Amino acid sequence: MDQTKGNLSLLVVTEEVDNVLEIYAHHPDLEALFTSQFRQELIDYVISKIKKVYLAQKERSNQLFLPKLPYYSLELRLRLEKYIYEGIERILKTNSELLPA
């Protein structure tokens, strides 16, 4: 991904991650989990998933694939949400000791 697309991707992913984490901000049992470290790990996870899709689609095509960003397409927003929730689940499973009993 070129630098401009990468920066735009980071902005969009960060915005979507913040939107999803805001949902959990009002759950007392979970709010302590969503630290800046957790947020950054989640952003990194989603960006890595986007890069994998970008590279896979680029390899299948002889022409350069440019993801639709900003994310005005419903398909891309739903894909981002999917990756965010996958990332939350993965991070929580990896750090299960942080979950309330």
CA atoms within 13 A on the CB side of 6: 7
Check pLDDT > 70 for residue 89. yes
Name the CA dihedral angle for 95, 45, 35, 17, rounded to a multiple of 10 degrees. -130
How high is the pLDDT of residue 10?
Answer: 83
Distance (Å, whole) CA 81 – CA 87: 10
> To the nearest whole number, what is the mean pLDDT of the chain?
76
How high is the pLDDT of residue 76?
Answer: 80
Check pLDDT > 70 for residue 27. yes
How high is the pLDDT of residue 62?
Answer: 54
Return phi, psi of residue 11, to 5°: -60, -45
**pLDDT one-digit tens code per residue, 38-87:** 899 999 999 999 887 766 655 666 554 445 555 557 878 888 999 999 99
* Averaged pLDDT for residues 27-45: 83
Stated pTM of the model: 0.73
Check pLDDT > 60 for residue 28. yes
Annotated domain spans of the chain: 3-98
